[in-house]
Amino acid sequence: MKTELNGKIVLITGATSGIGEATAKAFAGEGANLILIGRRKERLDNLAAELADKDGVKTLTRRLDVRDKNKVEEVINSLPDEWKKIDILVNNAGLGRGLNPLYEDNIDGWEEMIDTNVKGLLYVTRFVVPGMVERKSGHVINIGSIAGHEAYKGGGVYCATKHAVTAITRSLRLDLLGKGVRVSTVDPGMVETEFSLVRFYGDEQKAKKVYEGLTPLTGDDIAEAVIFCATRPPHANINEMIIMPSAQANAFFAHRKT
């Protein structure tokens, strides 16, 4: 069923897997046209072809590492005219690296997390939002995390980046007050995606263990929440939405069936 999202332009970062990919599929199901961003171009192109075929929506893919400030500026500012009026920005690209005590952790992983989760989100926002302000219309939906509300053992830098996303979201909402642009954040607990595989540098055993004995959320659960935020009437805004698996109480405590 098509809704008011029909024909809107939605830019999604990190659309090659997990939450971003599920969100792209959900928006396509509502008839939105999609700008899909990520580093794995083949995946972007396959997804774009699938959605154009299945849902009849228009798609545009851009291979982009959101850590590259100049490239972000170039990609956003050189969008074809028919794609320039972005209605909804979903800042989803992000990652965790390692789960080690801070004092013995891998510093390269810190740089990756800070550069992607914080600086990448800032760059994309900085170059997309001015157009929304000019048009007095738009919606920024950030994918934060429960790690943006709590700190957990071994998650020092990841939690810091997601606390930054919470702060950026709250500040941006103040900056945009009265300008016709809404700002929301959707903050998940455990979602089974490639996240843990990336966090543990491809170690499948470790990644699997994260979800052992419980039913985690899926990318579709989060995509549904994003669509809910995007379809509120103009006078209403979802500021922050925290979603957890029923088997998870907070960032540290989960009930596992043994």
Ligand X SMILES: NC(=O)c1ccc[n+]([C@@H]2O[C@H](COP(=O)([O-])OP(=O)(O)OC[C@H]3O[C@@H](n4cnc5c(N)ncnc54)[C@H](OP(=O)(O)O)[C@@H]3O)[C@@H](O)[C@H]2O)c1
Annotated active-site positions, please? 158
Cβ-based nearer residue to ligand X, 158 or 181: 158
DSSP-derived secondary structure letter, 174: H
DSSP-derived secondary structure letter, 150: -
Q: How far is the CB of 190 from ligand X (least distance, A)?
A: 5
Q: How far is the CB of 207 from ligand X (least distance, A)?
A: 10
Does position 39 interact with ligand X (CB under 6 A)? The reply is yes
Does position 138 interact with ligand X (CB under 6 A)? The reply is no
Does position 18 interact with ligand X (CB under 6 A)? The reply is yes
Cβ-based nearer residue to ligand X, 75 or 181: 75
Under rule CB under 6 A, which residues in 173-202 are in contact with ligand X? 188, 190-191, 193-195, 198
Size of the site for ligand X (CB under 6 A): 29
Does position 169 interact with ligand X (CB under 6 A)? The reply is no
Find the binder of ligand X among 145, 166, 185, 248 (CB under 6 A): 145
Under rule CB under 6 A, which residues in 58-87 are in contact with ligand X? 65-67
Q: How far is the CB of 147 from ligand X (least distance, A)?
A: 7
Find the binder of ligand X among 93, 129, 207, 229 (CB under 6 A): 93
Q: How far is the CB of 163 from ligand X (least distance, A)?
A: 12
Q: Please give the full DSSP string across the chain, using - where no structure is assigned.
A: ---TTTT-EEEEESTTSHHHHHHHHHHHHTT-EEEEEES-HHHHHHHHHHHHHHH---EEEEE--TT-HHHHHHHHHT--GGG----EEEE----------GGG--HHHHHHHIIIIIIIHHHHHHHHHHHHHHHT-EEEEEE--GGGT---TT-HHHHHHHHHHHHHHHHHHHHTTTTTEEEEEEEES-B-SSHHHHHTTT-HHHHHHHTTTS--B-HHHHHHHHHHHHTS-TT----EEEE--TTBSSSS-B----
Which stretches of the chain bind ligand X, using CB under 6 A? 13-20, 38-40, 65-67, 92-95, 116, 120, 143, 145, 188, 190-191, 193-195, 198
